[in-house]
Amino acid sequence: MMTMEELPASLLVEILSRLTDTTDVARCRMVSKSLNTASYEVRWLNLACSMSCYLKSRSPETRHLVTPFKTVFTDLVRRSSANLESISLGVDRSLGGVSFDDVEDESDDLYLTDMNFIKDWLPSVSPALKSFSVSDFWVQSCWRRSEALSLISSTCHNLVKLVVRNAWLSVDGLGSMPTLKYLTLEFVRLDDEDLSRINTCFPNLTQLDLIGVGGLKEPKINLLHLTTCQWSVSNAPLSLIICAPCLVDFNLRCIKPRLVVLEAPSLSNFNLSLENTDEFRLKNCANIQCLQLRVECLCLGLLFSMFRHCSTVKRLTLDLVERTEKVDVAELGLDTLLNCFPNVTYLNLGPGAWRVIEKSFSRGGLEHGIGMKMIKELIVHLVVREMGTTLAYISSLLDKSTELSDVSLLIHRDVDSYVAGSLISACRSSFPRIRLRWGIWKEGIKDTWVSDGI
């Protein structure tokens, strides 16, 4: 049996590298001299200030016992390998609940995008650094404008991934970073109204995540190599323009922009959550295979006109939210929907979409159901308000779906269990050829499956 001291140094470094927290690595230093030596060769550093540490640093009884977080982190960097490839520092997510009312001073001990703090240690490790993540303390950072991006771009010439959260970022002095492939900005105030500096200085991005980024007015994404993008936009921007010829996966959530223009000829997976717009243009987006729509649309004609050239869609998820009672339900029969998406084989209808489609059926039934011949899998979220109407609609739908083999019915949790059971029993007895499973849904709660089908 080999002792810890006899293991090869490279193996000890590999063992420690599999940990995820620098605090755990530091604890291992107490086990043996070999581990202590090896710990300084680990090529990543990951440290977060916990809520308990924050509270101790604020309490008059314990604050003198707590070493400032910035001091701890800087010391760890100086004692670590000069070949650090990944650095992550920040505050625990629980500190996101700390409000301005809970803070009585203007401390900057957790202001982690502070230029004076970052320039004290970043230049010494920048040559080998490939990944850098900083999650700031919003209470201290939101009113302090940081030029950290300028320093990062001027020193980290091999950086591949950059993540910044909870900060106010200036783009003054921002230089080109051709090696950067992955960029995440989350809950950031960014002084780049149209994203021109982001487009210019990060030309080779393949993945871009912009979550709750403020300071934008008429942003435009124009990135030739972008393949994956997640963009959550507030109601501030007047327009959104996305031009990305290599974009494959796009998740867009926006609130009442006047204009949205998307030009993405390679787009295959598109997840769109849209709260109204005056105009939505899809330019050269004829290859969408998987489409998820969660929309508030006073005129469903706009919805259909947006995707009139997307006959390639095979997987469709649709929900209508909030002011759907103002929609003319005659506009959204299932036939109308499938005429727009004639090649859909997988259809997932959220509760809002099902409610509107069911009302349309109660007015006039299914017209021809030609489009249903393509569907092989159907998932619906429903509320049974009138058992006869719901059963009649499902039966009519399944009658016309000759290729349909899998049906999943998710019934609202507040529906009487006897009613839900009767509906499922009736469907199973009338359509034994179909594999039927059912479950329960409720707003804000993960779907629960009761039966996986027979």
Summarize the confidence of residues 220-243 as an average pLDDT.
Answer: 94
> Of residues 166 and 453, which shows the higher confidence score?
166
Write the pLDDT tens digit of every residue in 167-187.
999 999 999 999 999 999 999
Task: Give the pLDDT band of residue 194 (cuts 50, 70, 90).
Answer: very high
At which residue do the structure tokens 């049996």 appear?
1
* Beta partners for residue 296, in sequence order: 275
- Average pLDDT of the chain to the nearest whole number: 86
pLDDT at 20: 64
- Look at residue 102 and tell me whether its pLDDT is greater than 70: no
Q: Which residues contact 55 (CB under 8 A, 6 or more apart)?
A: none
Write the pLDDT tens digit of every residue in 239-249.
999 999 999 99
CATH 3.80.10 fits 295-454, yes or no: yes
Three state DSSP letters for the chain: CCCHHHCCHHHHHHHHHCCCCHHHHHHHCCCCHHHHHHHCCCCEEEEEECHHHHHHHHCCCCHHHCCCHHHHHHHHHHHCCCCCCEEEEEECHHHHHCCHHHCCCCCCCCCCCCHHHHCCCHHHHCCCCCEEEEECCHHHHCCCEECHHHHHHHHCCCCCEEEEEEEEECCCCCCCCCCCCEEEEEEEEECCCCCHHHHHHCCCCCEEEEECCECCCCCEEECCCCCEEEEECCCCCCEEEEECCCCCEEEEEEECCCEEEEECCCCCEEEEEEECCCEEEEECCCCCCEEEEEEECCCHHHHHHHCCCCCCCCEEEEEECCHHHHCCHHHCCHHHHHHHCCCCCEEEECHHHHHHHHHHHHHHCCCCCHHHHHCCEEEEEECCCCHHHHHHHHHHHHHCCCCCCEEEEEEECCCCHHHHHHHHHHHHHHCCCCEEEEEEEECCEEEEEEECCC
Summarize the confidence of residues 418-435 as an average pLDDT.
Answer: 90
- Look at residue 325 and tell me whether its pLDDT is greater than 60: no
Single-letter amino acid, residue 107:
S
Which segment of 295-299, 306-310, 421-425, 444-448 scores lowest on mean pLDDT?
Answer: 295-299
Are residues 258 and 275 in contact, defined by beta-carbon separation less than 8 angstroms?
no
Summarize the confidence of residues 75-79 as an average pLDDT.
Answer: 86
Q: How large a percentage of the chain has pLDDT more than 90?
A: 48
Summarize the confidence of residues 137-151 as an average pLDDT.
Answer: 94
Write the pLDDT tens digit of every residue in 307-322.
876 789 999 999 987 6
Spatial separation of the C-alpha atoms in residues 446 and 454, rounded to whole Å: 23
Q: At what angle do helices 417-430 and 387-399 cross, to 10 degrees?
A: 30
Are residues 377 and 346 in contact, defined by beta-carbon separation less than 8 angstroms?
yes
Spatial separation of the C-alpha atoms in residues 366 and 213, rounded to whole Å: 44
> Of residues 22 and 236, which shows the higher confidence score?
236
Question: Which residue in 95, 45, 41 sits closest to 74, CA to CA?
Answer: 45
pLDDT at 31: 64
pLDDT at 301: 66
Evaluate if pTM is beyond 0.85: yes
- Look at residue 29 and tell me whether its pLDDT is greater than 70: no
Write the pLDDT tens digit of every residue in 402-416.
888 999 999 999 999
> Of residues 171 and 7, which shows the higher confidence score?
171
* Long-range contacts formed by 148-153: CB under 8 A, 24+ apart: 148/113, 148/114, 148/115, 148/118, 149/173, 149/174, 150/174, 150/175, 151/115, 151/118, 151/119, 151/122, 152/118, 152/122, 152/177, 153/177, 153/201
Task: Give the pLDDT band of residue 360 (cuts 50, 70, 90).
Answer: confident
pLDDT at 112: 96
Question: Cβ–Cβ contacts within 10 Å for residue 101, how many?
Answer: 7
pLDDT at 356: 84
Q: How large a percentage of the chain has pLDDT more than 70?
A: 82
Task: Give the pLDDT band of residue 398 (cuts 50, 70, 90).
Answer: confident
pLDDT at 236: 82
